[in-house]
């Protein structure tokens, strides 16, 4: 099956710093989503981005489908950005999402 | 618009007892998913429904797990009997179909089997 690798596994930032999270996947995909899982366990959609670039406030994401990777950029980080960031991919429309192991982000005040 | 609703939020049971989780998807979403998330890992799909039909249950341990989605709306996931290794967070998600298959997740049910 398709493999999803996220890096780094852990990241500690000072408030205000910028960061880049990476997601590599082993096969072509029709769906790629980035999620933020907050400390209470809620998975929150950040982006649906099987290709291209999107921005939402301080967050942006880019997926280069031909090279099988996606990047999530967090600018001017805040303590509320802390949590685990998951990349998840799906090979076929309507299939199952395969999640990476996540990047655990801690933003210190 | 209300999100995906799940209940209960927490459940503690003794091993060999039965347990059930309930999910109400976002209104109008035809596709419903149950995932299990073990500590420190990403969620893994257990079963996917298109309306009332289970179209992917390949990862569901059928000896003890069962699920239903009557009338194509809300869904119930059951474990009977529960084992210690079933302790996890059980997440429900839904998607609306169409060209963008964004999945929206509920808050999950945290299960602890003692």
Q: Is the Cβ of A93 closer than 8 Å to some Cβ of chain B?
A: yes
Does A97 sit within 8 Å of B107, measured CB to CB?
Answer: no
Least confident of A48-62, B10-24, B95-109: B95-109
Sign of the Cα torsion A62, A63, A66, A69 reads positive
Does B50 sit within 8 Å of A94, measured CB to CB?
Answer: yes
Check whether B100 has a pLDDT greater than 70. Answer: no
Q: Phi, psi at residue B84, to the nearest 5°?
A: -55, -40
Q: How confident is the model at residue A75 (pLDDT cuts 50, 70, 90)?
A: very high
CA-nearest of A32, A44, A33 to A82 is A44
Least CB–CB distance from B31: residue in A45, A94, A101? A94
Q: What is the mean pLDDT of residues B17-39?
A: 95
Specify the pairing of strand B109-113 against strand B53-56. unpaired
Taking contacts as CB-CB distances below 8 angstroms, the residues of chain A near B33 are: 96-97
- What are A30-73's pLDDT values in tens digits? 889 999 998 888 999 999 999 999 999 999 999 999 999 999 99
In the 3-class helix/strand/coil scheme, how is chain B assigned residue by residue? CCCCEEECCEEEECCCCCEEEEEECCCCCCEEEEEEECCCCCCEEEEEEECCEEEECCCCCCCCEEEECHHHCCEEEEECCCCHHHCEEEEEEEECCCCCCCCEECCCEEEEEC
Q: Looking at residue A106, what is its pLDDT? A: 96
Q: What is the mean pLDDT of residues B51-59?
A: 89
Q: Is the Cβ of A56 closer than 8 Å to some Cβ of chain B?
A: no
CA A55 to chain centre: 13
In the block, tokens 């003692």 appear at: B114
In the block, tokens 């950005």 appear at: A81
Q: What is the mean pLDDT of residues A74-88?
A: 96
Helix, coil or strand: residue A85 = strand
Beta bridge partners of B91: B35
Least CB–CB distance from A90: residue in B91, B101, B104? B101
Specify the pairing of strand B88-95 against strand B31-37. antiparallel
Cα gap A88→B43, rounded to integer Å: 9
């Amino acid at each position: 099956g398709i493999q999803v690798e996220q890096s780094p596994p852990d990241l500690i930032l000072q408030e205000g710093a910028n960061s880049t999270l990476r997601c590599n996947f082993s096969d072509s995909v029709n769906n790629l989503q980035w999620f933020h899982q907050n400390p209470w366990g809620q998975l929150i959609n950040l982006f649906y981005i099987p290709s291209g670039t999107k921005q939402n406030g301080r967050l942006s994401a880019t997926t280069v489908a031909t090279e099988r990777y996606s990047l999530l950029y967090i600018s001017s980080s805040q303590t509320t950005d802390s949590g685990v960031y998951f990349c998840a991919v799906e090979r076929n429309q309507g299939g199952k999402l395969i999640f990476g192991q996540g990047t655990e982000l801690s933003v210190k005040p | 618009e209300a999100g995906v609703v799940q209940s209960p939020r927490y459940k503690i049971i003794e091993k060999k007892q039965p347990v059930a989780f309930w999910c109400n998807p976002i209104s109008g979403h035809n596709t419903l998913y149950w995932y299990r998330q073990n500590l420190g890992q990403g969620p893994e799909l257990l079963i996917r429904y298109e309306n009332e039909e289970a179209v992917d249950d390949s990862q569901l341990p059928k000896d003890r797990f069962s699920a239903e989605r009557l009338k194509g709306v809300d869904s119930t996931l059951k474990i009977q009997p529960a084992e210690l290794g079933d302790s996890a967070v059980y997440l429900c998600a839904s998607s609306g179909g169409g060209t963008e298959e964004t999945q929206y997740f509920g808050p999950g049910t945290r299960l602890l089997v003692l």
